Amino acid sequence: MSLQPRKVIIDVDPGIDDAVALAMALFDPRLEVLAVTATGGSVSPEQATANLQALVAFLDPPRLPRLGVAPTDTVLPSQQYNLHGGDGLGGIDLPRAKLHGGHISEKVISETLRAHPREITIIALGPLTNISRVLARDPLIAEMIGGLIISGGTVQGLGNATAVADGNFYADPLAARNIVREPLAKTLVPLETTSQVMLGFDLLDQLPNEMSSRAGKILRPMLSHAFRAHRQWLGSEGICLHDAVALVALTNPELFDSTAVFADVETTGELTAGMLVADRRHLRHNAGQWQPKVDLLVACDAAGVQDCILRLLAAAAAGT
């Protein structure tokens, strides 16, 4: 007896690793991608929307999800370097495909949740702006979320956007705090865990053929750019596809180790804005009322996760 696909909403700021995760998800038979929503982060809100529309149109999945437009009334902090290229996708020059009927992301998320209450897992691969706005507008909608996977945070204080913060939390610290504090079931996949899956240059030899599929046509140049950028900016010969690892945390949770922690996010520190603070002490404040706030993934089977990524990319190529 086959299991029903798991209903998901994917919130992205594409971004090369977002694009890879999106290609994986759209052709994974275990997932029913009901909506994909854009937010600013790795790129501007306008670029995030354009990239999302172009990616979905080019990949042409068997089922077209609803698409959400990124809110433009957000101000993103400046980045010291950009691993994603000027367009966010490594300069692959996808045809711009503005799809009709696009609504603002928070509206798409809200309407989709209401249509399938408690059935949907949200996979948040960018800043948490959209999710925070949905809950601020209608706090009761939290009860309709079946689960939340968050790609972001760093529990050891070694950030990639600043010394102590990852890019997603740094881009909108207040939204990150709002969601981390929200009493709903959520899983956090921090940098320390996603960085355990370091992909070497031989990854390019294992990707789908560039000439035989649409997915291969975009994956090879995007990831080639990622390797060059990581070498130039970080002095690294490998790359970490953080958001692809976060997606595998949903589809293959058996590959990850987790612990429940109380957590919060710094919003006002001059040097620490966006920093995730995890309290793993064995204290019980207000006995009987203290509860863990976040299911934190602290380790993974790196080889198993890499194998999942490659198999899902092969499936994406077969579907295009």
| φ, ψ of residue 299 in degrees (nearest 5) | -160, 160
Distance (Å, whole) CA 314 – CA 311:
5
Q: With contact defined as beta carbons under 8 Å apart, do 66 and 112 qualify?
A: yes
Distance from CA of residue 78 to its chain's centroid?
20
Q: With contact defined as beta carbons under 8 Å apart, do 205 and 62 qualify?
A: no
Strands (E), the chain: 6-12, 31-38, 66-69, 103-104, 120-124, 145-151, 186-189, 256-265, 276-279, 294-300
Among candidate residues 97, 147, 98, the one with its CA nearest the CA of residue 122: 147
Residues 6+ apart with CB under 8 A from 80: none
- Beta strands at 256-265 and 276-279: parallel, antiparallel or unpaired: antiparallel
Q: Looking at residue 199, what DSSP letter applies?
A: B
Distances in whole angstroms, Cα of residue 226 to Cα of each of 37, 120, 199, 312: 23, 31, 11, 19
Which tokens belong to 140? 């009761």
Distance (Å, whole) CA 49 – CA 13:
8
Positions marked catalytic: 242
Q: With contact defined as beta carbons under 8 Å apart, do 29 and 5 qualify?
A: yes
At residue 217, the 3 state secondary structure works out as: helix
